[in-house]
Amino acid sequence: MAIGVFDSGVGGLTVHHRLVERFPAADFIYLADQANAPYGGRSGEEIVELTKAGCVRLFAEGCDVVVLACNTAASVALRRLQQTWLPAYRRELGRPVNILGIVVPTIEAATGLPWEHEAQWREEKAEKVDVLGVFATPATARSRVYEIEIDKRRQDVAVFSEPCPELARMIEAGAPREELAAVIDRHVQALKTRIGRHPDRAILGCTHYEIVADLFQAALPAGTPLIRQPEATADALARYLERHPEFRPGERGVRRFLTTGRPGEQNSLVETFWGTPLRFEPA
Point out the residues that are catalytic: 70, 206
Instruction: Give the whole-angstrom CA distance, residue 20 versus residue 87.
Output: 28
| Cα–Cα–Cα angle for 21, 245, 232, rounded to 5 degrees | 40
Q: How far is the CB of 68 from ligand DGL (least distance, A)?
A: 9
> Which range in 19-27, 34-42, 175-183, 267-275 contacts ligand DGL by CB under 6 A?
34-42
Instruction: Give the whole-angstrom CA distance, residue 229 versus residue 20.
Output: 14
Interface residue with ligand DGL among 7, 27, 64, 149 (CB under 6 A) is 7
Interface residue with ligand DGL among 208, 234, 249, 283 (CB under 6 A) is 208
> Which range in 2-10, 108-116, 176-184, 234-242 contacts ligand DGL by CB under 6 A?
2-10
- Per-residue mark of binding to ligand DGL, 131-160 (x: CB under 6 A): ------x--x--------------------
How many residues touch ligand DGL (CB under 6 A)? 17
Nearer to ligand DGL, 70 or 188 (CB): 70
Angle at which helix 44-60 crosses helix 86-93, to 10 degrees, equals 20
| Type and span of the H or E element at 246 | none
**Contact in structure between 242 and 220 (CB atoms under 8 Å):** no
Instruction: Give the whole-angstrom CA distance, residue 211 versus residue 10.
Output: 9
Rule CB under 6 A: say whether 71 interacts with ligand DGL: yes
Nearest to 147 by CA among 156, 135, 134, 137: 134
Instruction: Give the whole-angstrom CA distance, residue 151 versus residue 160.
Output: 11
> Which range in 1-9, 105-113, 122-130, 175-183 contacts ligand DGL by CB under 6 A?
1-9
Nearer to ligand DGL, 1 or 132 (CB): 132
Say which DSSP state 221 is in. Answer: P
Nearer to ligand DGL, 1 or 16 (CB): 16
| Type and span of the H or E element at 115 | none
Interface residue with ligand DGL among 4, 20, 38, 260 (CB under 6 A) is 38
Residue 122: CB atoms within 10 Å? 9
Interface residue with ligand DGL among 78, 99, 168, 234 (CB under 6 A) is 168
Binding residues for ligand DGL, per CB under 6 A? 7-9, 11, 37-40, 70-72, 137, 140, 168, 206-208
